[in-house]
Amino acid sequence: MSRKIVVGYDGSKSAKAALDFSVSLAKAEGGSVVVAHVLEWSPYSFLTPEELEERHKRRGEELERAETAVLKPVVDQLSGSGIAVSTALKYGHITDTLCKIAKDEGADQIIIGRTGHSGLATRIFGSVAGSLAQAAPVPVTIVP
Protein backbone atom coordinates (compact mmCIF):
# COMPACT_ATOMS: atom_id res chain seq x y z
CA MET A 1 0.00 0.00 0.00
CA SER A 2 1.34 3.39 -0.90
CA ARG A 3 1.10 6.08 1.69
CA LYS A 4 0.35 9.71 1.00
CA ILE A 5 1.85 12.32 3.28
CA VAL A 6 0.85 15.99 3.41
CA VAL A 7 3.72 18.09 4.68
CA GLY A 8 3.09 21.68 5.77
CA TYR A 9 5.90 23.72 4.26
CA ASP A 10 6.74 27.43 4.45
CA GLY A 11 10.47 27.40 3.73
CA SER A 12 11.48 27.81 7.37
CA LYS A 13 14.10 25.71 9.11
CA SER A 14 11.60 23.62 11.02
CA ALA A 15 9.55 23.14 7.85
CA LYS A 16 12.68 21.80 6.14
CA ALA A 17 13.13 19.34 8.99
CA ALA A 18 9.52 18.22 8.55
CA LEU A 19 10.08 17.85 4.82
CA ASP A 20 13.24 15.74 5.32
CA PHE A 21 11.40 13.52 7.75
CA SER A 22 8.48 13.11 5.32
CA VAL A 23 10.80 12.25 2.48
CA SER A 24 12.66 9.61 4.47
CA LEU A 25 9.34 8.15 5.60
CA ALA A 26 7.99 8.11 2.06
CA LYS A 27 11.17 6.45 0.80
CA ALA A 28 11.07 3.80 3.48
CA GLU A 29 7.41 2.99 2.93
CA GLY A 30 7.18 3.73 -0.79
CA GLY A 31 4.77 6.62 -0.44
CA SER A 32 4.21 10.01 -2.01
CA VAL A 33 4.52 13.54 -0.58
CA VAL A 34 2.22 16.53 -1.02
CA VAL A 35 4.09 19.73 -0.21
CA ALA A 36 1.42 22.12 1.07
CA HIS A 37 1.93 25.85 1.42
CA VAL A 38 -0.83 27.98 2.96
CA LEU A 39 -1.01 31.74 2.55
CA GLU A 40 -2.61 33.12 5.70
CA TRP A 41 -5.84 34.85 4.70
CA SER A 42 -9.12 35.78 6.31
CA PRO A 43 -12.15 36.83 4.26
CA TYR A 44 -13.12 38.93 7.28
CA SER A 45 -10.09 41.21 7.33
CA PHE A 46 -10.46 44.90 6.53
CA LEU A 47 -9.00 46.50 3.44
CA THR A 48 -8.84 50.06 2.14
CA PRO A 49 -10.61 50.90 -1.13
CA GLU A 50 -7.26 50.93 -2.91
CA GLU A 51 -6.37 47.50 -1.57
CA LEU A 52 -9.73 46.21 -2.80
CA GLU A 53 -9.01 47.53 -6.27
CA GLU A 54 -5.63 45.82 -6.38
CA ARG A 55 -6.53 42.62 -4.53
CA HIS A 56 -6.97 40.43 -7.60
CA LYS A 57 -3.63 41.57 -8.98
CA ARG A 58 -1.84 41.14 -5.64
CA ARG A 59 -3.30 37.67 -5.23
CA GLY A 60 -1.83 36.65 -8.53
CA GLU A 61 1.55 38.06 -7.51
CA GLU A 62 1.46 36.34 -4.13
CA LEU A 63 0.62 32.98 -5.67
CA GLU A 64 3.39 33.33 -8.21
CA ARG A 65 5.92 34.31 -5.57
CA ALA A 66 4.96 31.34 -3.38
CA GLU A 67 5.16 29.03 -6.36
CA THR A 68 8.62 30.14 -7.45
CA ALA A 69 10.25 30.97 -4.12
CA VAL A 70 8.79 28.30 -1.85
CA LEU A 71 7.44 25.33 -3.77
CA LYS A 72 9.53 25.12 -6.93
CA PRO A 73 12.90 24.73 -5.13
CA VAL A 74 11.46 21.81 -3.18
CA VAL A 75 10.11 20.10 -6.27
CA ASP A 76 13.46 20.59 -8.02
CA GLN A 77 15.36 19.28 -5.02
CA LEU A 78 13.22 16.15 -4.79
CA SER A 79 12.99 15.47 -8.51
CA GLY A 80 15.84 12.96 -8.36
CA SER A 81 14.81 11.33 -5.10
CA GLY A 82 12.56 8.72 -6.68
CA ILE A 83 9.43 9.57 -4.71
CA ALA A 84 6.31 11.11 -6.17
CA VAL A 85 6.03 14.79 -5.18
CA SER A 86 3.07 17.10 -5.75
CA THR A 87 2.26 20.54 -4.37
CA ALA A 88 -0.75 22.32 -2.95
CA LEU A 89 -0.97 26.10 -2.67
CA LYS A 90 -3.95 27.63 -0.93
CA TYR A 91 -5.21 30.73 0.84
CA GLY A 92 -6.88 30.45 4.20
CA HIS A 93 -6.56 29.78 7.88
CA ILE A 94 -3.46 27.57 8.21
CA THR A 95 -4.88 24.77 10.36
CA ASP A 96 -8.24 24.53 8.58
CA THR A 97 -6.62 24.64 5.18
CA LEU A 98 -4.07 21.91 5.97
CA CYS A 99 -6.90 19.68 7.19
CA LYS A 100 -8.83 20.38 4.01
CA ILE A 101 -5.85 19.59 1.80
CA ALA A 102 -5.32 16.29 3.66
CA LYS A 103 -8.97 15.42 3.15
CA ASP A 104 -9.04 16.42 -0.55
CA GLU A 105 -5.81 14.54 -1.29
CA GLY A 106 -6.93 11.48 0.64
CA ALA A 107 -3.72 11.62 2.66
CA ASP A 108 -2.88 9.21 5.45
CA GLN A 109 -1.07 11.65 7.63
CA ILE A 110 0.06 15.26 8.05
CA ILE A 111 3.60 16.17 9.00
CA ILE A 112 4.56 19.65 10.15
CA GLY A 113 7.45 21.36 11.86
CA ARG A 114 7.01 23.40 14.97
CA THR A 115 7.99 26.98 15.64
CA GLY A 116 9.58 26.25 18.97
CA HIS A 117 7.60 28.95 20.75
CA SER A 118 6.14 28.13 24.07
CA GLY A 119 4.61 30.12 26.85
CA LEU A 120 3.02 33.52 26.48
CA ALA A 121 2.92 33.95 22.71
CA THR A 122 1.35 30.54 22.25
CA ARG A 123 -1.15 31.14 25.01
CA ILE A 124 -2.34 34.26 23.25
CA PHE A 125 -2.14 33.30 19.61
CA GLY A 126 -2.37 29.52 19.83
CA SER A 127 -0.06 27.32 17.83
CA VAL A 128 -0.57 25.68 14.47
CA ALA A 129 0.86 22.40 15.75
CA GLY A 130 -1.43 22.36 18.77
CA SER A 131 -4.63 23.20 16.97
CA LEU A 132 -3.81 20.90 14.06
CA ALA A 133 -3.35 18.01 16.46
CA GLN A 134 -6.86 18.74 17.76
CA ALA A 135 -8.56 19.25 14.44
CA ALA A 136 -6.87 16.99 11.88
CA PRO A 137 -8.87 14.17 10.26
CA VAL A 138 -5.72 12.00 10.02
CA PRO A 139 -2.75 11.34 12.34
CA VAL A 140 -0.36 14.29 12.72
CA THR A 141 3.37 14.06 13.22
CA ILE A 142 5.13 17.09 14.64
CA VAL A 143 8.83 17.27 13.84
CA PRO A 144 11.05 19.24 16.23
Partner 1 sequence: MKNLFRAAAIAVPATLAASAPAMAQSLDQQINDGFANATGWFVSFIFSPFPGTTFPWIVAWLVIAATIFTVYFGLIQFRAFPHSISLVKGDYSDPNDAGEVSHFQALATALSGTVGLGNIAGVAVAVSIGGPGATFWMILAGLMGMASKFTECTLGVKYRNEYDDGTVSGGPMYYMTKGFAERGLPLGRFMAILFSVFCILGALGGGNMFQANQAHAQITNVVGEYPGWITGIVFAGIVFAVIVGGLKSIARVTEKVVPIMGVMYVLTALVILLMNANMIGWAFGEIFRGAFTGAGVAGGMVGALIQGFKRAAFSNEAGVGSAAIAHSAVKTKEPITEGFVSLLEPFIDTVVICTMTALVIIITGQLIMDPSTGMYLLDEGASTIQTVGDNKGVALTSAAFSSAFPAFKYILAIAVILFAFSTMISWSYYGLKAWTFLFGEGHTKELVFKVIFCIFVIIGASASLGPVIDFSDAAIFAMAVVNIVALYCLMPIVKRELISYQSRLKSGEIAKFH
Q: Based on the shown chain and the rule CB under 8 A, indicate whether residue 17 belongs to the binding site for partner 1.
A: no
Burial 3-15 (b: 16+ CB within 10 A, else e): ebbbbbbbeeebb
Nearer to partner 1 among residue 19 and residue 88 (C-beta): 88
**Binding string, 93-122, against partner 1, x = CB under 8 A?**
-------x----------------------
C-alpha distance from residue 65 to each of 14, 34, 91 (Å): 21, 19, 13
Counting contacts by CB under 8 A, is residue 125 touching partner 1?
Answer: no
Neighbours of 39 (CB within 10 A): 17
Name which of 24, 35, 30 is nearest 90 in CA terms: 35
Within positions 32 to 91, which residues make up the interface with partner 1, using CB under 8 A? 39, 41, 43-57, 59-60, 62-63, 90-91
The CB-of-70 to partner 1 minimum distance in angstroms stands at 15
Q: Measured from the CB atom, is 49 or 80 closer to partner 1?
A: 49
Segments of the chain assigned E as strands: 4-8, 32-40, 84-92, 109-113, 140-143
List contacts with partner 1 (CB under 8 A): 39, 41, 43-57, 59-60, 62-63, 90-92, 100
